Chains A and B, each alone.
Chain A
């Protein structure tokens, strides 16, 4: 079992390396001179040269990579061109909103999607099933920001139930925090719910056909108990997989949602950084996001061993 865990962790290393290399190359690929970019328009050649030496751009690229990795591991992402602050600091400031949004969305999505999927599978072929599936296709197709604006229009403008934009730190008051999070979470959750509900339904359908479920029913267990105790546990593997994979969608969606709702989080930081050609920040954020994604999938892989003891390679 420990061997399995160790092996899974080791397997993530190549992937992370590829991402790291790619992210590192990003700045070098532009074809412009990074030192000139930093120095700005009014710098003299002397100043540009100085910056170049300071950044270590004179050294061979392999050496630069190693130095960079060394810094990154220690948490030093360098200084942002645009904001003139340490990138690490920037990220720390923006972390809370994004994390809050992501966690909220995740909970919401799973809490809604799994029961939906199970119900759809249990009542297969009825209008409930069709409605859920129809909703799933819709949710998957309509882009996040369209949903976002639709929701804003309905709930914030027409009905004026909820605030339109903005974010409030948790420390500043729980109710305000929650209120402002509802719309963005729901927006982001829709696409996630669509995905999870679909997979849940398919997976549950498969398990419903199996022998041991029939046995449980024959034993006299009520349908509810059958569903909960036997079916769900067995159907869990694909569902959890999809949750893990969906995190990538979530991260992408966070970028957009933050723009729509004006939340000062990491997503917005990324967009602003890209627009300003602020490469250290872009590098750091991409690396971070990818790491998170890889980590979550690792967690997913590890939970397999709990859910299905047969998986042990």
Chain B
């Protein structure tokens, strides 16, 4: 079910330009701070009247919130998915290495523990401050705190698989390391990895919004849910729609991803199902 909601949001994000939105950066000073549902009537040169309804109101610069929220979906989803993919890829690589090469294991795990000791958001903030702001920096800054968790997961899977009799048998039969990993270790690691990936995605979306909200994330020209909320802060008391709408979308998306993750976990691992 979570997948269904997510699919809808994904769809919205992809088709944003066609959903009757206006240019999200178009500043229209006359329409500043309109409440949701306000209608604006434009009179063209030939006397015709075109009216547009601001479904979600406008912000302090007259930009249409509806459009910004929809466009924001794209960025948030992009960040979430890319962080999930990259951190899984990197975590997989490191985890496999650490699980397999004993001498590397201790060293790598200490570093991972160290990274995990710094709260994710602080780490991300610090990392963003190191480089110029921008999409790539933000993605990188979010990936790095997420990697240790993936590494731990992969490593534990690798370690447990190594002891299995069929792996020993394969080695005895002369299998070499790389095909061994591909055929035996990887499929076992896949299921929990996918589940973890969804959680990483959800976490990434939240962290990105957080970063943007605090002003250290994606630059304000590009609308992201966090950005929109950051800009709406000052006028919150009077015009709450600035914050409420992106907030609702954000919450819904993250919720959807989490539910999807839970659902995936339940179906991929029948053992856990009984407990719940």
A interface residues (Cβ-Cβ under 8 A, vs B): 14-19, 22, 26, 29-30, 137-138, 140-146, 149-150, 152-153, 157, 164, 202, 205-206, 248-249, 251-252, 255-256, 259, 270-271, 274-275, 277, 282, 285-286, 289-290, 293-294
Distance between Cα atoms of A141 and B250 in the complex (Å): 9
If the complex has contacts A15-B113, A18-B111, are A259 and B214 also in contact, measured as CB distance less than 8 A?
A: yes
Q: Report the minimal beta-carbon distance from B243 to chain A, rounded to whole angstroms.
A: 5
Q: In the complex, how many angstroms separate the beta carbon of A19 from the nearest chain B beta carbon?
A: 5
Do residues A19 and B120 form an inter-chain contact, with CB atoms below 8 A? no
How far in angstroms is the closest Cβ of chain A from B141?
11
**Interface hits, B166-224 → A, CB 8 Å:** 202, 206, 209-210, 213-216
Which secondary structure dominates chain B's binding surface?
helix
B259 at the A interface (CB under 8 A): yes
B25 within 8 A of A: no
Complex: how many Å from CA A70 to CA B137?
33
Which of chain A's residues have a CB closer than 8 A to the CB of B247? 143, 145-146, 149-150
24 inter-chain pairs at a CB distance below 8 angstroms, sorted by A residue, are A15-B113, A17-B114, A18-B114, A18-B115, A29-B130, A141-B202, A141-B257, A142-B254, A143-B250, A145-B247, A149-B247, A164-B237, A205-B275, A206-B275, A248-B117, A270-B125, A271-B214, A274-B216, A275-B129, A277-B129, A282-B126, A286-B126, A289-B118, A289-B119
Q: Are B114 and A271 in contact (CB under 8 A)?
A: no
Q: Across the interface, do B210 and A143 meet the contact criterion of CB distance under 8 Å?
A: yes
A154 to chain B, nearest CB (A): 11
Q: Closest residue to A250 on the B side, CB-wise?
A: B119
Asked if B122 is at the interface (CB within 8 A of a chain A CB), the reply is yes
* A248:B113 contact, CB within 8 angstroms: no
Determine if A256 and B122 form an interchain contact, defined as CB atoms under 8 angstroms apart. no
Told that A137-B259, A248-B120, A274-B128 touch, could you supply 6 new A-B pairs with CB distance under 8 A?
A15-B113, A19-B118, A26-B126, A144-B210, A252-B119, A290-B119
Give the chain A neighbours of B130 by CB distance below 8 A. Answer: 26, 29-30
A303 and B229 CA atoms in complex are apart in Å by 42
Q: Roughly how many angstroms separate A205 CA and B275 CA in the complex, as a whole number?
A: 8
- How distant is A65 from chain B, measured CB to nearest CB, in Å? 15
Nearest Cβ in chain B — how far from A78, in angstroms? 17
User: Contact at A249–B119, with CB atoms within 8 Å?
Assistant: yes
